[in-house]
Structure 1
Amino acid sequence: METDALKIQTLKGMIWKFSERFGVSFIQFILQIILARLLSPSDYGMLSIMIIFTNLANVFIQNGFNTALIQKKDTSDNDYSSVFWLTFVFSLLIYAFLFLIAPIIANFYSMPNIIFPFRVLALMIIPGALNSIQIAIVSKKMDFKKIFTSNFLSIIVSGIIGVSLAFLGMGVWALVFQSLANVVVSTLAMWFTVKWRPQYTMDFHRVKELFSFGWKLLVSSLLETLYQDLSSLVIGRKYNSSTLGFYNRGKQFPQFITTAVNGTVQSVMLPAMSSIQDDKQRVKQIMRRSITLSSYLMFPIMAGLAIVSEPLVKILLTDKWVSCVPYIQIFCFVFAFYPVHTCNLQTINAIGRSDIFLKLEVIKKIIGIAALSISVFCFDSPMIIALSSALTTVISCFVNAFPNKKLINYSYLEQIKDILPNFVISILMIIPLYFLKEIISNSLVLLLAQLVMGIVLYILISILTKNKSFYYVFDTALDIIKKKTND
């Protein structure tokens, strides 16, 4: 059994991290609605292409060493400083490279107007070098309140900038400055809340030690980021910026929610399990708890979003965005299983087996690229490209789960048993919601009715079926309240 201290510390971390992820994602969701009503699908298509390349660049800054610092038991200030100076210099080199290739990217995608905006947007990778160290320090201590504060402030400030520029008719520039301001403000906020400053030191021996673990995660993250954006690269090249805008808008709706849940699981699981990485039984207990809790949250949210997507888009984004509805429904299925992926992969990371992590990423990417290639060359449809993601999601679940049978004795059957109850009650919840469409014609009334009925039904079914995740959250919340009352 989990100790009370670790249980409460982990849940507190999850609460703060979920608050940060959900709060930021919710505000960003509202801002994106406002911006989508002011801007065109073409503007979002152009931003999508630019973001793909900056995300790839950010992998070198934000991944690998960051995870290695969190996973390492005896991390010193010397480690943090050495990694910072290395990534800072590397960020300058990457920015110079992106600056030079901007015309090539613009020419390849027939978007000559993105050269200057792309060069400005790419500046975000430079403050990211400092931000990655700040996040590692806070994550290791599971002090996610600081991340909550900084990200909440950054999304508010950047949102005001983005919406203001959109009102002034700045088009894609509104999105560029919003994205850049988000990173800069977050880094500045963390500077004042995290009491760490880089020393003028570089210990290559320590860096080499961290790199031996982190390089596999770096390559894995690079493969994952490239793969996730590969379909967008293909659609942007093969079709047009408007089609890409619909595709990515459909993907972003469920992705906002997934960022909250999946980011919480990823951020909290790694430091929690790394602290007990030698006790495989306790690692398994935390992993099982994480899988059941995250699927309990994710399955009904994704199922519900798929059902309400059409009235939601018509009300929030207007009819000009209705073509993104089928993409939303497909990606709801895809992202519903992301916490399951994350729990399996973070367990592998926590016990120091980044070599297995990399092998899994290579296997999954080969499968994914094969599915994408077939969908592009045999069907020539962006919808089929989205459906190929759904297929590879199911296959990837089995690929990610395979090593943990040996590492912590957590089999396929056990994982299925842990998530199946949450899947079943989610399906039971959405069946009545589907038939509401036949009764209610007004989009707003339909949306509100589906939301209220969905929440009530899910809680009611959870109680009637005595769902373990529901009672775990309820009982642990009571424990925290009692502890605070006694203090």
Structure 2
Amino acid sequence: MAIVFTSFIEVLNDLGMGAAIIQRKQENLSEEHFQTAFWSGVAWSLLIYLVMVIAVAPFAVNFYKEPMLGQIIPVLSLGILSSPINMVHKAQLTKALDFKKLTYVNNFSNIFSGVLSLALAFLGFGVWSLVFNSIASFLIAMPLYFRATGWKPKFMWSEQAFKDIFGFGIFTTGTNLFNNLMNKLDYLLIGKLMTAADLGAYTLAFVLTDTFRSQVMGVMNKVMFPVYSSLQGNSKELKMYYSRVVKYNCLLVFPIMLFFIAEGEAIITLFFGQKWNDAILPLQILSGSVLFHMMVNSNTVVVRGMGKAKLEMQLQIYKSIFLYIPVLVGMIYFYGIIGAALAFLIIKFVSVFIVLFYLNKLIGYTFNDMFLSVKPVLLASFVPFLTIIAIHKFWPLNFYISAFLFFSSYILSVYFIMGKEMKEVVRKIKKKPLQTNV
């Protein structure tokens, strides 16, 4: 409940200035831009934190009728203050494609905070173990980022530099705001109209499917955003890279989602217990929605990388108003958490055609291009999926045997269908790492 409200404000936190630094060409970037972004972010985050404490926390308490939110939100919101401090460092490392250092910082801080959270949970701190997790994560990451880049803030601020980065960043922030609204609207409505148990069951299904999908895509998106930015104006190269991104993201996510559909009941009951049975059908439906999402995954990163942040925001606004909100509200009101899952299935299906329309306009990416990108993955994925479904009809398999058969047959299918291509990709990576002009 607390995260629903804090996440709305967090997307406003750095005003998109980190993305603006990454997108901006190197020759048009100076130390003034870094310093201006840092101090503007610090001032803005302090204001946002005050809004969280004074206005948002009391509102959340009244909205959910949960007094504890008045204590949790101010503490959880401390993470807002970390964003501008780490923003410039992350932007510099991302722009330089130095993902080794980024990975080290993220992994170390996440592992440390995760261990702390588990220890606190075992000691009986309850929900506060999750709250302290987020605080510990940014406190540990902060000195590591300073060490990774060697960059230090100075008392420097430029009005022109602010205009340069704010002009791009404000549209990015608008996009993130609407994205977050759509990603949290289902939680907000279920939490308000139904019980906490319903929200818990739905959240579990969503975390296992759509959140997993976003984490996998997030890795690729962080890599490709600076790459797309360096290819502005080269539609042919953008189309080629985007096709590969779609294919290889699908390669990772498709088998997981199909396995959730085939073995959803076994996964929930075996790993979470029968008290979570209400999450089974939403898990399977949401897995289907992710399959559609993956067919045009990472499309917004292409648009943003081309410098068309305003177009990206406009598209998200239109989809929010005319698709997400009416479908989600109607389906949740009438059908509860099953309706929420079905709403996402409908939304993701319709979104495929919307995305293909504007990608065709921008880089010439058509339905046929999409089909050619996902075709080998579809073939490789549905062979083990249909096999497991057929076997289950005649022979009740042990879950672990079923999982082994599914993923081993998937790997074999990938080898026979895409083996030559995969070997060529590995050979090229070893021979010549990706070079860009960033």
TM-score, normalization: structure 2? 0.92
2:22 corresponds in structure 1 to 70
Residue-by-residue CA offset, 1:311-339 (whole Å, 9 max, x unaligned): 22223222222322222212222333444
Local SS of the residue matching 1:277: coil
Is 1:374 aligned with 2:326? no
Q: Which moved more, 1:54-63 or 1:108-117?
A: 54-63
| CA distance, structure 1, for counterparts of residue 273 and residue 391 of structure 2 | 21
Aligned: 1:79 with 2:33: yes
Structure-1 residue corresponding to 2:3: 51
SS at structure 1 position matched to 2:65: coil
Q: Distance in 1 between matches of 2:257 and 2:150?
A: 38
Provide, for residues 54-106 of structure 1, a one-character-per-residue CA deviation record: whole Å limited to 9, x for no partner.
21121112562221111100222221211111111111111111111312211
SS in 2 for 1:233: helix
1:406 aligns with 2:355: no
Contiguous gaps of at least 5 residues in structure 1: 1-48
CA distance in 1, matches of 2:398, 2:141: 38
1:3-402 correspondence to structure 2 within 5 Å: 49-62=1-14, 64-74=16-26, 75-101=29-55, 102-366=57-321, 367-377=323-333, 379-402=334-357
The 3-state SS of whatever aligns with 1:313 is helix
- Does structure 2 retain, via aligned residues, the 8 Å contact 1:261–1:294? yes
Give the superposition deviation at 1:127. 0.7
Alignment CA distance shift 1:188-1:309 (3 Å): farther
Contact 2:5 2:60 in 1 (8 A): no
Distance 1:433 1:205 in 2: 61
Letter in 1 for 2:153: P
SS of the aligned residue for 1:196 comes to: coil
| Structure 1 position 305, deviation (Å) | 2.7
Percent identity among equivalent residues? 26
Change (3 A) 1:158 1:451: same
Native 8 Å contact 1:61 1:132 kept in 2: no
1:476 aligns with 425
Query: CA distance change for structure 1 residues 401 and 345 in 2, over 3 Å: closer, same or farther?
Result: farther
Shift of 1:361: 0.3
Q: Which amino acid aligns with 1:450?
A: S
Give 1:411's aligned amino acid.
T
SS at match of 1:60: coil
- TM normalised by structure 1 equals 0.83
Q: Deviations over 1:391-423 (max 9, x none)?
A: 001111221222221221111222123213322
Whether the 8 Å contact between 1:71 and 1:350 is mirrored in structure 2 is yes
* 2:282–2:337 contact (8 Å) kept in structure 1: no
Residues 329, 403 of structure 1: alpha-carbon distance in 2 compared, 3 angstrom cutoff: same
Contact 1:56 1:222 in 2 (8 A): yes
Tell me, in whole angstroms, the C-alpha distance in 2 between the residues paired with 1:184 and 1:439. 54
- Structure 2: distance between partners of 1:323 and 1:310: 10
RMSD across aligned positions (CA): 2.1
How many Å separate the matches in 2 of 1:188 and 1:320? 42
Aligned partner of 1:448: which letter?
Y
Deviation at 1:308, TM superposition (A): 2.6
In the alignment, structure 1 residue 424 sits paired with structure 2 residue 386: no
Deviations 1:143-199 (A, max 9, x none): 111111111111211111111111122211111111222232223322222221122
| Paired residue type of 2:280 | V
Q: Is the 8 A contact 1:269 1:343 kept in 2?
A: no
The one-letter amino acid paired with 2:194 is Y
* Residues 285-330 of structure 1 deviation map (CA, whole Å, 9 limit, x = unaligned): 1111111121222212211233233222223222222322222212
> What is the 5 A alignment of 1:443-482?
446-464=398-416, 466-467=417-418, 470-481=419-430
